[in-house]
Amino acid sequence: MARPREPIGVIGVGWVGLVTAACFAELGHPVFARDILAEKVEGLRRGETTIHEPGLDELLAGNAERLTFTADLKEVLDAARLLFVCVDTPPSPSGDADLSRVRAVVEELGAGDRVLIMKSTVPAGTGAAVKRDLGDGIAYVSCPEFLKEGSAVEDFMNPDRVVVGADERDAEAGDAVAALYEPLGAEIVRTDVASAEMIKLASNAFLATKISFVNEIANVCEEVGADVAEVARGMGLDERIGSAFLRAGIGYGGSCFPKDVSALKMLAGNTGYHFQLLNAVIEVNELQKRRVVGKLQKHLGSLLGRRIALLGLAFKPDTDDMREASSLVLAARLVGEGAEVVAYDPVAADRARELLGSVELAGSALDAVEGADGAVLVTEWPEFAELDWASAAAAMARPLIVDGRNFLDADRLRAAGFAYEGIGRAVEATPSPAAD
């Protein structure tokens, strides 16, 4: 008979915690998952998923008998020795990571034969500090998460690598965590706690740097008549560079890149080191979100009283996460210019509603563009590629589109009657026919 799999505890059932719980249940482990939000726990018990993530509903439903959701930490501690901490670590007003939720968990753990496995993204040095406060018998392992929202289940099940950081005293706990991931067949990077913490922050900072870099290249392409899509294709074929994250657009957002880049910058600053490159990465990203306004003004002049449609609100497709979404900055800038803003997103509208103030929410893309003086593609949802763009052009007061993700077929849009503006695209945009 196969040995029963080791029970697993998950503390914090958000994007990372819920995916971690569902995936370990799929791998055969009994999982005990705790969140402090009683409402969330109740919903999960009824089988209601709290986030939009492809494949997650199926995993939760298919493994329901192995998954226990609770608001009571004791239930988790009684059942599981291996405890994945997946609580949020948002930015604090100083730009450092706010570790108050992590500290709250540490305080609650007490003592005993347990392993605290840190999945939350924390600044290097956190593990060393937490270890000083842990009760007797609790080992500490850093196991940062690299999943991407929108493909979180797929990423968890097929990781590029798994990082397991444990100091010598906790080597056995590190072995136990590594064993959990062995069935996934990925390379397991065994290292010390501080290095594991830095791997996570450095990886996100590097990816953010790549995005800001290609966005600056795009902006130069606009000046010199080059096409950034061609430039990125040519660059990406160089194995030393790689094609991932070389797509120009209106900047990165989401719950991770902005806060992790800021946390690394602050972490360095707190030690007296000025991380110049990251300052530029952050500034380029902020300016990039705003460039769309200039592109609209090029065609429409003043935006006062102009109706502008935003297509997509989520920070990227296949998620309803609105944290640090570029759409929020863009909408606020447009409202600031006096525009009337209407928006549509296939799944993020509910989360977006309370964040968007005076922005009107439409029930479909075609409803959103009806009577608009311009539209901006903000999130590259597949349904926008399939949209009946000829009907969209006919419905708009002015058929003008700013493709903030270089996602649409420019020739098709132009054939449908649009003035098309991408980000860093070579072809001269035809001025909007009805611009005044």
DSSP letters, 385-416, are HTS-HHHHHHHSSS-EEEETTS-S-HHHHHHT
DSSP letters, 178-211, are HHHHGGG--EEEEE-HHHHHHHHHHHHHHHHHHH
**What per-residue string of b and e applies to 379-396 under the rule 16 or more CB within 10 Å gives b?**
bbbeebeebebeebbebb
Residues 246-305 within binding reach of ligand NAD (CB under 6 A) = 255-256
Q: What's the distance, Cα to Cα, between the start and end of the chain in Å?
A: 77
Return the number of the residue (3 or 46) whose C-beta is nearest ligand NAD: 46
Q: How far is the CB of 236 from ligand NAD (least distance, A)?
A: 24
Return the number of the residue (11 or 375) whose C-beta is nearest ligand NAD: 11
| 23 noted as active-site residue | no
Q: How far is the CB of 315 from ligand NAD (least distance, A)?
A: 10
Q: Which of 37, 355, 361, 434 binds ligand NAD (CB under 6 A)?
A: 37
Interaction of residue 129 with ligand NAD, rule CB under 6 A: no
Q: Which of 7, 8, 9, 17 binds ligand NAD (CB under 6 A)?
A: 17
Long-range contacts of the stretch 170-179 (C-beta < 8 A, 24+): 170/115, 170/139, 170/140, 170/141, 172/139, 173/115, 173/139, 173/140, 173/141, 174/141, 176/6, 176/82, 176/115, 177/82, 177/115, 177/117, 177/141, 177/143
Q: Which residue's CB atom is positioned nearest to ligand NAD? A: 14
Q: How far is the CB of 278 from ligand NAD (least distance, A)?
A: 17
Q: How far is the CB of 85 from ligand NAD (least distance, A)?
A: 8
Q: How far is the CB of 244 from ligand NAD (least distance, A)?
A: 16
Q: What is the 3-state secondary structure (H, E, C) of 158-174?
A: CCCEEEEECCHHHHHHH
Interaction of residue 89 with ligand NAD, rule CB under 6 A: yes
Interaction of residue 25 with ligand NAD, rule CB under 6 A: no
Cβ pair 312, 378 in contact under 8 A: yes
Interaction of residue 13 with ligand NAD, rule CB under 6 A: yes
Residues 215-254 within binding reach of ligand NAD (CB under 6 A) = none
Return the number of the residue (76 or 332) whose C-beta is nearest ligand NAD: 76
Return the number of the residue (149 or 222) whose C-beta is nearest ligand NAD: 149
Q: How far is the CB of 15 from ligand NAD (least distance, A)?
A: 4
Return the number of the residue (140 or 418) whose C-beta is nearest ligand NAD: 140
How far apart CA 106 and CA 114 sit, in angstroms, is 12
Using DSSP's 3-state secondary structure scheme, residue 256 falls into coil
**Which residues are near ligand NAD by CB under 6 A?**
11-17, 34-37, 40, 86-89, 101, 104-105, 119-121, 145, 147, 149, 255-256
